[in-house]
Amino acid sequence: MSTTRRFGSTGMDITPVGFGTWVISGPGWQYSWGSTDDTDSVAAIRHAVATGLNWIDTAAAYGLGHAEELVGRALAGIPERERPYIFTKTGLIWEDGDDPNGPPLRVMRPETVRRELENSLRRLGTDHIDLYQVHWPDTGARFVYGAEGEPTGDATPLEEYWQLMADLRKEGKVRAVGLSNHDVRQLDIAESIAHVDAIQPPFSALNRVAAPEIAWAAAHDTGVIAYSPLQSGLLTGAYTADRVLAADDWRRGYAEFTTDLPVNLAFVDALRPIAARHGVGVAEVALAWVTGWPGITGAIVGARTPAQIDGWAGARDLVLTADDQAEITAALVATGAGTGPVRP
């Protein structure tokens, strides 16, 4: 039995690492990771469950529902008592006539959310969702990854869409509700309306800017699942300076994979001696650093194949020593890699 942690006030206990499905969402949409093999993807999900991971994080936006369909396929043959918790998200949509290779809308209109919920339940093959999350704050504008975007007059106010999420929780189709990519000010507003069961911020050794939100969660008995803990593959230890990303891989245009790559890889090299001491891979050290940050319940990690899971699943049992932590802090300072506080 894998070690689990109390997930805020949700009543769920989750493993420190969960399976993420963005990477298996397939081609043909704005934030694709490139071509994937659905058979491998289903096998990866089943392998994650078999190795003891007890939760899966997905979203309606991933592949325009394709990732949720794969989760549904993977879990269909697993007895109910052995199934993992299912977490998914709402609020990024392509309306009729939109180009899926263009940016989606950030929309939290009640009728849209309820329709998305029913579609997610159908694709996932379940009658309830364990954690239903708002993917991004509603601005009414097109979503561009890494940019806030200007709000429009069509945005649904936070107060309204969070009350809707609380209503869905009361209705029983979702067990818990959460906010992804919301800041402390927004979390305070939401908490004044109904308890925020969980938050999902980006957090890794190279992206530490969500430290205030994680501290907020710890003070409010709110669970935290961090996404991109391996910084979209940079912290796996397998990414090299000469790697050429596919033309339809969303990472091609981002500084961390281009201008910032030498610094980022220098930091990765600093993790290798720590990994060697523990007899694990660099990815497991990077994950253990995230799951060891005070306030974080678990980290979301994706995989395209079962073999990739074997490269990081052991992180759930790895505890870094004080010397390890000091060495990582020193490496962050020395290389200047990433942004945010280098220690809690």
Residue 142 lies in a domain: yes
- Mean pLDDT estimate for the chain: 93
- Per-residue burial over 249-271, b = 16 or more CB atoms within 10 Å of its CB, e = otherwise: bbbeeeebbeebbeebbebbebb
What is the residue range of 171's domain? Answer: 13-200
- pLDDT value at residue 1: 41
If you average pLDDT over residues 111-138, what whole number do you get?
A: 97
Contact 210, 203 (CB under 8 A): yes
If you average pLDDT over residues 18-22, what whole number do you get?
A: 96
Q: Tokens 């030498």 — which residue?
A: 262
Name which of 182, 76, 89 is nearest 129 in CA terms: 89
pLDDT in tens, 302-329: 999 999 998 888 788 899 999 999 999 9
If you average pLDDT over residues 227-235, what whole number do you get?
A: 93
Backbone angles phi, psi at 131, to 5 degrees: -140, 120
Q: What angle do CA 129, 222, 317 make, to 5 degrees?
A: 85
Of 110-114, 197-201, 208-212, 305-309, which range is least confident?
305-309
If you average pLDDT over residues 22-40, what whole number do you get?
A: 93
Residue 99 lies in a domain: yes
Those residues whose C-beta lies under 8 Å from the C-beta of residue 164, and which sit 6 or more positions away, are 108, 110, 113
| Helix/strand/coil (H/E/C) assignment for every residue in 184-235 | HHHHHHHHHHCCCCEEECECECCECCCHHHHHHHHHCCCEEEEECCCHHHHH
Residue 329 lies in a domain: no
Contact 179, 132 (CB under 8 A): no
Residue 342 lies in a domain: no
Residue 70 lies in a domain: yes
Q: What does each C-alpha distance from 7 to 148, 187, 230, 296 come to in angstroms? A: 29, 17, 21, 9
Give the helix/strand (H/E) hosting 131: strand 129-134
Residue 251 lies in a domain: no
Burial class of 156 by CB neighbour count within 10 A (0 to 12, 13 to 18, 19+) = buried
Q: Please give the Cα distance from 47 to 36 (Å, whole number).
A: 17
- Residue 287, sorted as left (phi over 0), alpha (psi -120 to 50) or beta, turns out to be alpha
pLDDT in tens, 150-194: 666 689 999 999 999 999 999 999 999 999 999 999 999 999 999
Backbone angles phi, psi at 302, to 5 degrees: -100, 165
Residue 97: band (very low, low, confident or very high) from pLDDT cuts 50, 70, 90? confident
Q: Which amino acid is it at 279? A: G
Contact 92, 61 (CB under 8 A): yes
Our count of domains for the chain comes to 1
Residue 72 lies in a domain: yes
Q: Tokens 């999902």 — which residue?
A: 200
- pLDDT value at residue 149: 63
Name which of 35, 22, 101 is nearest 246 in CA terms: 35
Residue 182 lies in a domain: yes
The enclosing domain of 42 has a CATH number of 3.20.20.100
